[in-house]
Amino acid sequence: MRVARVLMMLGLAAMSLPSGAEHLGADHLGDWTPAPLDPSRWTPTFVVAADGSGTHRTLQAAIDALPGKGTGMGKGSAVRSYVLVKPGTYREPLCIQDKAPFALYGAGDPGEVVIVEGRYNALPKRRGEPAHRCLPLLDAETHGTPGSASVMLFSDDAQLARLTVVNDAMDRVRDGQGYPAGVGESGGAQAVALMTRGDRLQLEQVRLLGHQDTFYAERASEDPARAARVLVRRSEIRGDVDFIFGGATLLIDDSLIVSRAGRRTPGHGGHVLAPSTPQAVANGFLVQRSRWLAEPGVAPGSVSLGRAWDRGVARGEWRASPSVPNGQALVRENLLGPHLATWSASTSRRPYSTEGDAANRMTEVRNVWLPVGVPAAAFDAIAPGDGWGSMNGGTVGGAQAAPGAVRVVRTRAELDAALALGDTPKLIAVAGRIDLAADASGKRLGIEDFRDPAFDLAAFARQYDPASWGRRAPEGPLEEARKRSARRQAAQVVVKVPSNTTIVGVAPDAGFDGGSLMLEKVSQVILRNLRFSDAYDFFPAWDPNDNGHGEWNSEYDTVSLREATQVWIDHCAFDDGGRPDPAEPVVLGQRMQRHDGLLDITRRSDFVTVSWSVFRRHDKTMLIGGSDNHRDDRGHLRVTLHHNLWEQVKERTPRVRFGQVHVANNVFAAVPGGDYPYGYSIGIGLEARVLSEANAWEAVPGVAPGRVVRLLKGERLEDRGSRFNGEPLDLVALLRAANPDRTIAGEAGWTPPYRLSIDAAADLPARVRLGAGPGRLW
């Protein structure tokens, strides 16, 4: 069965569609056509703020102030109330019952507004005491599953947007240990975040977080003529057992469904869907265009797509009749992780089957089954406030990739096929090391594979020896042969990344060797959890006038940005691999250079954040602005570098021209010896406007504080909170002391338009060393 799905994913086989597979979202929604929600256009009727700055301090107070159902604002009415919730955590059980149309919403990221409670099924209560204001359950001695809900939405025509609803009752339970009294793996742990009981309910950009029974979408009546339609779009639901359940007609679209790890005893699996659709109701749950992923630690094949909730039926007692539920679910065009198995037997132990009197109404079609796990965080966009990359609309990369545009790659051929999707939003999960200098068989190609027959290095050195050739640029047959050789290598080792792409490592040491990722004239690219190593140039160019004595100049950066915008590079590592430049031969009087930059950001690139990454074993590490002649870089090159580690690197960390560059909370290790002896860290080039904030230098004896910053035709640097071996450091004062004949402004001339959280430099080295680089995200 799994083999067939993988073949289908690769386009090698087709799957017949079972009965009912062509249900459309319109079948679920009927005569209801909900429009996308846009809180930016809403004017709040009430404002909830715990600090008293709104009209109400609690959610319940604001909800109670809303008009009741039947007050002239019924179905189809254009009149709707709007309740804006300011950022904060609101710990209260919320009851929303029989209200006129309204919207409850936050203004920003869903995580900024958290509604949370911690009740659970087996939580005791006294008889006569209400379990919940919306659902008292007065005769019960426990809260029960319904009574555990953090939020009960028992109303029609309601909208929730940009909120997080949490039940944290079981958050402290780990590996089956730490349950409250009366709770165990076999029962009592049900803890609902959101329970709905109404029609025309719309949730958009909402996060529902719990463990067992997170989201309870219920009907107000068993009468099949009474609709109970719920639309969940662009949202996130997390849990571990039956965490999307109930009898409502539920459509989940373009969302993230995450199976959680950690609560249950190791070896115990879980289930996602548990519909309890009445037999006479045709449409139960439809989940489409969504991503089903798992937290780290969820074993492959341990979670079923779901099981029918045969509500009220004892084990082995289910018999087809109008009076018993027969859960209906369709899972269509989703991305399904390897933690999933197929459907499971129902709660009454009715075996899953598509035939016979006890047939289940649950099926999956046209889904993409991933062969390896892709963590939910792989789909992250950059967070608000996270540097320049979060501005201008933010950086999302391929976060909105459709299931068919999520590719797991282990080889260059698979990588090329994924990139051939072009500017379509795509997520490329790298599940190994990909050698960009290897051929289709995996054989690494060397200089003889790329060398033009007419090129010979010894002859090149004789021909262009400055003693005979002079200081003219090389020209003629040998130089043309070098260029042809270089073009052949470039055709193999340079990978062009298109727009709307996320490339993320999902295996230990995932990344790229022997080549260069080129981001040229593209927008919306995310690179995360990857190691880039050894972009080695066999045919560097000779410039007889560089630095006055001539230099070899290599072509390839491990990653290069040229006219690239909205780029986020996070938790990556960059290095020269096992072929350091100091080991190269001296030719034409100079050491041959085989590596260019590790990460260069040039030619009007803009809105870039580089965070939590490691740069090691390199000479000219990062160039922001490629030349003094690139005057069109003015107004561009807005780059943030934060929480990066720079060690065994010589210089350019970074060297800046023209840009507004924020260097914040970086750690620089300055060592004078080795293959890459320390030169300087921050270079202030022509028209650079650098803001240095709370950086930390760790230096061995022999490296003086005055070496950490260098003036290179620039005149602006602002610095605050930096430290050198734990002592306060004033970079501006150092620059002025080293350049008494120059006028140096002590302010950058710009203020960050984002709110980046800044750590104290004294606490920085340990934190960055613990958190930077690949392998630290999941």
Q: Between vectors from CA 41 to CA 39 and to CA 45, what angle results, nearest 5°?
A: 75
Contacts of 107 (CB under 8 A, 6+ apart): 39, 40, 84, 86, 162
Which of these, 735, 708, 703, lies nearest to 722 by C-alpha position? 708
Residue 699 identity (one-letter amino acid): A
Q: Is 80 helix (H, G, I), strand (E, B) or coil?
A: coil
Contact in structure between 710 and 684 (CB atoms under 8 Å): yes
Of 652, 655, 657, 707, which one is the catalytic site residue?
Answer: 652
Q: Where are the beta strands (DSSP E) in 254-341?
A: 256-259, 270-275, 285-288, 291-294, 303-306, 328-332, 335-336, 340-341
Calpha distance 477→455 (Å, rounded):
9
Any idea of the CA torsion for 691, 694, 697, 703, to the nearest 10 degrees?
A: 50
652 is catalytic: yes
Give whole-number Cα distances, 260 to 212, 240, 243, 298, 492, in Å: 10, 5, 10, 7, 41
- Copy the structure tokens of residue 523: 């927008």
Contact in structure between 226 and 261 (CB atoms under 8 Å): no
Q: For residue 353, how many other CB atoms are within 10 A of its CB?
A: 12
Which of these, 189, 185, 120, lies nearest to 150 by C-alpha position? 120
Strands 256-259 vs 291-294: parallel, antiparallel or unpaired? parallel
Contacts of 115 (CB under 8 A, 6+ apart): 59, 90, 92, 94, 150, 151, 163, 164, 165, 166
Q: Is 586 helix (H, G, I), strand (E, B) or coil?
A: strand
- Copy the structure tokens of residue 262: 């950690």
**Omega of the bond prior to 544 within 30 degrees of 0, cis?**
no
Give whole-number Cα distances, 447 to 482, 487, 695, in Å: 11, 12, 41
Residue numbers annotated as active site: 652
